[in-house]
């Protein structure tokens, strides 16, 4: 089977390549991992020609415009990458009877719930990033009968830029950190998300929308404290700064973010042969890999 990954240099793109044995252990796999230079989703007119050149059986769209705050300014670019490009990929998959795995986000929800969001919950994004990702979801599902949408959030890994690496850098530079404590979600280790996507391709279930993150719940403050404590125990950090919880109102940003974006994964864990791993255990796994790199 020929599987094409967009955004090959991103966190998820890297993780998908690293975990491809999950699929290759069962079927012959030809992996085509395309960087932005090789498939630039902002150049919508070139997408069909690139896909025609490779003719993949499955496309995993791991590329996206993810700069949440910049999206409030670069509205059109975010829409092109997160929505218009997805429509073209979905149309190509429908035309050739191929499978599309489109990776989306917890930001399609408004954060007003106090219990985990289920796949049946109504989406209501509150920022441009979430709105363009919601549009991409709609295009994927409406234009391609064999499309899947995988929602996730708070993704991090040893490869690429992410919140964990930012906290490690700030912790090494500063004596004090103020971290938002009233935005609640669940961190997602990129390797675990990648393994789930490979399982989805292997099993091809009838359900079209899936949620995935690691287990448990955390605020950005909780996550930061765990990062610093575990990194210090690994010797990655030589000292620990003081971390203070702050309110979202104390850290204004151009984009509004959902206050609560925990996703319900019970369905995923039970139906895709994916065992839940608590986010703190996943963080330890990532930091161990980071130290050995």
CA 99: distance to chain centroid?
A: 19
Residue 44 lies in a domain: yes
Residue 73 lies in a domain: yes
* CA-derived radius of gyration, the chain: 19
**pTM here?**
0.97
Residue 169 lies in a domain: no
CA 56: distance to chain centroid?
A: 22
Q: List 104's β-bridge partners, or say none.
A: 151
Query: Active site includes 14?
Result: no
Tokens 């990062």 — which residue? 227
Residue 287 lies in a domain: no
Six token digits for residue 53: 């050149």
pLDDT in tens, the chain (293 residues): 999 999 999 999 999 999 999 888 888 999 999 999 999 999 999 999 999 999 999 999 999 999 999 999 999 999 999 999 999 999 999 999 999 999 999 999 999 999 999 999 999 999 999 999 999 999 999 999 999 999 999 999 999 999 999 999 999 999 999 999 999 999 999 999 999 999 999 999 999 999 999 999 999 999 999 999 999 999 999 999 999 999 999 989 999 999 999 999 999 999 998 999 999 999 999 999 999 87
Residue 246 lies in a domain: no
Q: What is the pLDDT of residue 23?
A: 87
Residue 11 lies in a domain: yes
145 to 2, 56, 149, 207: CA distances (angstroms): 19, 16, 12, 11
Total domains in the chain come to: 1
Residue 230 lies in a domain: no
Q: Which of 293, 127, 153, 125 is nearest to 223 (CA)?
A: 153
Q: Which of 196, 194, 102, 109 is nearest to 142 (CA)?
A: 102
Catalytic residue among 117, 129, 156, 189: 129
Range of the domain at 85: 2-160+186-216+261-276
Residue 244 lies in a domain: no
Q: Any idea what the CATH number is for the domain that residue 96 is in?
A: 3.40.50.720
Six token digits for residue 24: 């290759």
């Amino acid at each position: 089977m020929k599987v094409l990954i967009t955004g090959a240099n991103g966190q998820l793109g890297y993780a998908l390549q690293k975990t491809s044995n999950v699929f290759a252990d069962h079927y012959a796999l030809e992996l085509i991992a395309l960087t932005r230079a090789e498939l630039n989703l902002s150049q919508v007119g070139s997408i069909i020609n690139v896909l025609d050149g490779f003719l993949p059986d499955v496309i995993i769209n791991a590329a996206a415009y993810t700069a949440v705050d910049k999206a409030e300014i670069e509205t059109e670019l975010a829409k092109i990458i997160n929505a218009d490009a997805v429509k073209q990929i979905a149309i190509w998959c429908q035309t050739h009877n191929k499978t599309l795995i489109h990776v989306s986000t917890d930001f399609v929800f408004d954060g007003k719930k106090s219990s985990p969001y289920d796949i049946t919950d109504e989406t209501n994004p509150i920022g441009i990033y979430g709105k363009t990702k919601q549009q991409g979801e709609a295009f994927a599902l409406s234009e391609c009968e064999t499309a899947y949408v995988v929602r996730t959030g708070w993704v991090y890994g040893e490869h690429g830029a992410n919140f964990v690496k930012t906290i490690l850098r700030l912790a090494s530079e500063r004596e004090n950190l103020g971290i938002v404590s009233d935005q609640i979600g669940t961190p997602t280790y990129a390797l675990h998300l990648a393994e789930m996507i490979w399982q989805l391709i292997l099993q091809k279930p009838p359900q079209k929308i899936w949620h995935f993150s690691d287990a448990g719940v955390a605020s950005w403050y909780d996550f930061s404290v765990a990062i610093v404590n575990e990194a210090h125990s690994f010797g990655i950090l030589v000292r620990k700064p003081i971390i203070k919880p702050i309110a979202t109102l104390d850290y204004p940003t151009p984009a509004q973010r959902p206050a609560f974006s925990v996703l319900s994964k019970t369905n995923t864990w039970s139906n895709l042969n994916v065992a839940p791993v608590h986010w703190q255990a996943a963080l330890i796994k990532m930091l161990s890999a980071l130290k050995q790199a």
